Amino acid sequence: MFNLFLSMPPQAAEAPNPLMSLLPFLAIIVIFYFFMIRPQMKRQKELRKYRESLKKGDKVITTGGIYGRVIEVKDAYVTVEIAKEVEIKIDKSAIIMDMTDAVRK
């Protein structure tokens, strides 16, 4: 009986479906998009909108942690008063919405 199994010709294996082998890879890409890329893009859009809507009198925080009040708004920079009669020019890209936008440790 054992010889009968050994003498049988090997059966052809079915070719794996290429879609099934790519499915886990595609699932990982979709997960990364919805949990990492999409929220980051949304946050950047909100921050850009915030910087464009700055006006005189707004309280702001810089990426360096300087708190101040907007005195003047130009296209590329804002003038911020950080103490009485102490004004500095800051590039708009250095303004953040709140400290959660700062670089995390």
* 28: CATH: 2.30.30.140
Does residue 27 lie in a domain region?
yes
Does residue 15 lie in a domain region?
no
Q: 44: domain range?
A: 21-101
State the CB neighbour count (10 A cutoff) for residue 52. Answer: 9
Predicted confidence at residue 89, as pLDDT, reads: 96
Does residue 46 lie in a domain region?
yes
- Parallel, antiparallel, or unpaired for β 67-73 and 59-62? antiparallel
Does residue 9 lie in a domain region?
no
Model confidence at 1: pLDDT above 80: no
Model pLDDT for residues 68-104, shown as the tens digit of each residue: 999 999 999 999 999 999 999 999 999 988 766 665 5
| Of 60, 100, 65, residue with least CA distance to 77 | 60
The total number of structural domains in the chain stands at: 1
Does residue 50 lie in a domain region?
yes
Does residue 3 lie in a domain region?
no
Q: H/E element holding 91?
A: strand 86-91
> pLDDT: is 27 or 17 the higher one?
27
What is d(CA 56, CA 78) in angstroms, rounded to the nearest whole number?
Answer: 9
- The mean pLDDT of the chain is 84
What is d(CA 58, CA 18) in angstroms, rounded to the nearest whole number?
Answer: 57
